[in-house]
Every structure is written in C-alpha cells, then in structure tokens.
Structure 1
Amino acid sequence: MDISLPVIYLSVLVALLAFAGFAVIRQVLKTRKLENVLSRLEKKLQNERGTLEEYYELGSIYLDKNLFAQSIVLFQKAIKAADDDSQNLAPVYNAMGFAYFAQEQYDISIRQYKEALKLEPNYVTALNNLAHAYERKKLIAQAVETYEEVLKYEPKNDTAKRRCESLRKRLVTSS
C-alpha cells in the first residue's frame, strides 16, 4: 500500500503532462498551418489579383489576429473580385460588419450586416450580429425584433433566446 499511492500520484502527473504536451503540440501545429496560409496568401496577393475566396480567407485570418482595418480592406477587395457571385458575398459582408463592430463603428457594421441579409435573408449569423449591433446602439426594440427573427429560423439558438429574454425584460421595465 505504501508504494501504490506514490505510483498513483506519479501516474496522474504523467497523464496530466502528456495531455498538456498534446495540447501544446496541437496548438503549435495549428498556428504553424495558419501562418503558412497567411504567408502564402500575402505573397500571392502582393503579386497578382486574387479571387473572392482568397481575399476573404486572408481577411478572416486578419480578423482572428484583431487586425480589423487591414481585414476591411481585404473584404472590400473580395467584393470587387466577385464576378456576379453574390451567393458567396453574404459571408464577406458579415465579416466586414464584424470588423467594423469590433472597432465600435456600429452604424457601419449595421449597414454591412443588412447588406449580407439582402443577399441571404435567412443568414442566422448575420441576424445575430445585427441584433447585437442594435443592442450596442441601445436600439432595444430593433434588437428584440431581430433576435426573434433569428429564433424563427433557429428555434434552439441559445444566444438569441437568452439575449431576447434579457432585452424584453429591459423593455418592460422601461415602459
């Protein structure tokens, strides 16, 4: 019994270290892959005109890195590169709206989300983002209405349910 307790502790410690090592290696590989894509796209787009998908992918990487102004430029280039491919433009407008939102430019972000919704009216992510922008602008009634629209398309959307209920309570108490 005296030897088994240290063996158990040591086994648990080794298991925790193995898990931590796995997590670190996985993150390093993921980051390395992302940096390779970033490098490849930057080099390509410096030398030649890219496609909608390439500008969007690079803009999304910049968004992940919180380089919002640079991502907006790339999303604008993606829109210009679109050849009547409005089906794929909704995510570009949504991402651009997110970049403006992150810079607290709510009016412009709202415009971008609405543009995405013109192209794809049941785009739930853009609807959620639009509602959140309305919320930040203190346009509570529009935010509730938009969250309710999200719930029409996705009744089990937890974010929309939670935010809608919270905002309804604020509407009732302010009336």
Structure 2
Amino acid sequence: MFAYFQGRQIIKRAEEVFLSTQVEESSEGVKLNMVYEVGELFELGIQLSYLLILLGLLGTGTFFVIRQVLVRRELDLSAKDLQEQVRSGEGSATELFELGAVMLRRKFYPAAIKYLQQAIQKWDRDEQDLAQVYNALGVSYKRENKLDKAIKQFEKAVELQPGYVTAWNNLGDAYEQQKDLASALRAFEEVLLFDPNNKVARPRRDDLKSRVGMYKGVPVKTTDKR
C-alpha cells in the first residue's frame, strides 16, 4: 500500500515537472515570437523610412525639373515677344536690354552681346541705369572668355554708378581670372567701401591679400558716391 502511494506521488511529480516544462517551453516560444515580430516591425519601419526618403528626393527632383521647364518656357515666350517688337523696329532701348538679358539667361551669349550693344547705342534714359546694361554686357563677354572686353564693360558700369557693388564684384572676378591679383584686390576693396559686410567680396579680399602679400590694405581708386 505504501509502495502504491509512493508510486502515485512520483507520477504526480513527474506530471507537474512535465506541465511546468511545457509552460516554460510555451513561454520561450511566445518570447521568441515576440522578438521575431518586433524585429519584423523594426525592419519594416526602416524600409518605410527609406521609401519615404526616396519619395521625398524624387518629389524634390521632380519639382525642380518642372520649375526649370516652366522658367525655360517663360524665357522662350519672353524672347519671342521681345524679338517680334525689335524686328518690327518698335523696340525701345529698355526692350533691347530686356531681350539681351533673356538671351544671357538662356546662355545665347553672342545674341545677348548683340542686343545689349544695341540697347547702349539707343539708350535715352538715366545714365546710372545704363550701368546695368554695361554690367550685363560684361557678364556676356566674360562667359565667352573675352576678359579684356568684359573688364572694359564692368569699368564703364562702375564709372556710371560708383556704388554698383555687383559690377565691382564682377570686375574683381574678371581681374582675378586674368591673374591681375592687385587689380582684383582693389575691386573687392571698393565693394567693401560701399558694403562692408558683402559676403562675396570679403572672403575674396582676404584671400587676395594673403596671396599678394598686402596685409595692411591697398590704396583704392577714389570715387564720389552719387
């Protein structure tokens, strides 16, 4: 009888151990499944992030492409209208200037030079405004690598409008391309007389100072502010 009860206790303990083992295995399985699911969600999140970034880049690229197409279309229409007026003989100096500027933006430099020269010959407005035409003509020559002609136009622009910092910057850049560092330095110094915090001229001036060995500044061409 005692052996019978002892056997039942052994069987009962074995069943408890078996059940507890099943529970542990089940718990381990749940944990593994949870880890696997979390890993899947994490990987899915990364994939979605990459997808969103890709879509964002594609969207930005598409926006700029569309914008460039629209700008090009607008320039083409402007050029067409202005050319019709010029060909009819009714184009004013201002319209010739606008047409030259459009050709410059479209990178048709010979055409830009042609119309800007005609605008200068026909100019009947304020001479200070004419400085913008000379500056645009200088840029056109510079894009054609005709630096001597470009410099003459920029010099004429700052002669007409001494405070024209854009023309001074262009003049300094043209001189630097021509390896005339001292003249380039003087041009950028002129910019800083009118605009001490100019973000284009200041670093260029500082770099040129170190290159030509002029640490105490250089004499600048005296001009009267108009």
Q: Deviations over 1:48-105 (max 9, x none)?
A: 2312221111111211232222211101111122114313200000111111222222
Q: For 1:42 and 1:103, how far apart are their aligned partners in 2?
A: 22
In structure 2, runs of 5+ residues without a counterpart are 1-37, 215-226
Q: For 1:27 and 1:84, how far apart are their aligned partners in 2?
A: 33
Instruction: Confirm whether residue 21 of structure 1 aligns to residue 62 of structure 2.
Output: yes
Instruction: Provide the identity percentage.
Output: 38
Equivalent residues, number: 173
The corresponding residue for 1:70 is 111
Q: Contact between 1:100 and 1:109, CA under 8 Å: does it hold in 2?
A: yes
Q: For 1:34 and 1:140, how far apart are their aligned partners in 2?
A: 37
Q: 2:188 aligns with which of 136, 147, 150?
A: 147
Q: Which has the higher contact order (CA 8 A, sep 6+)?
A: 1
The corresponding residue for 1:127 is 168
Runs of 4+ with >6 A deviation: none
Q: Contact between 2:75 and 2:106, CA under 8 Å: does it hold in 1?
A: no
Instruction: Confirm whether residue 106 of structure 1 aligns to residue 106 of structure 2.
Output: no
Moved more, 150-159 or 20-29: 20-29
Q: For 2:180 and 2:193, how far apart are their aligned partners in 1?
A: 20
Q: 1:164 aligns with which of 205, 216, 219?
A: 205
Q: Contact between 1:141 and 1:171, CA under 8 Å: does it hold in 2?
A: yes
* Change over 3 Å in CA distance of 1:10–1:59 after alignment to 2: same
Query: What letter corresponds to residue 105 of structure 2 in structure 1?
Result: D
The structure with the largest alpha-carbon Rg is 2
Moved more, 80-89 or 125-134: 80-89
Give, in angstroms, the shift of residue 8 of structure 1.
4.2
Q: For 1:19 and 1:166, how far apart are their aligned partners in 2?
A: 36
Q: 2:83 aligns with which of 13, 38, 42?
A: 42
* Change over 3 Å in CA distance of 1:31–1:65 after alignment to 2: closer
* Change over 3 Å in CA distance of 1:7–1:35 after alignment to 2: same
TM-score by length of 1: 0.87
Give, in angstroms, the shift of residue 7 of structure 1.
4.3
Q: Contact between 1:50 and 1:81, CA under 8 Å: does it hold in 2?
A: no
Query: What letter corresponds to residue 49 of structure 1 in structure 2?
Result: E
Query: What letter corresponds to residue 189 of structure 2 in structure 1?
Result: E
TM-score by length of 2: 0.69
Q: For 1:124 and 1:105, how far apart are their aligned partners in 2?
A: 21
Cα RMSD after superposing both structures: 2.1
Give, in angstroms, the shift of residue 23 of structure 1.
2.6
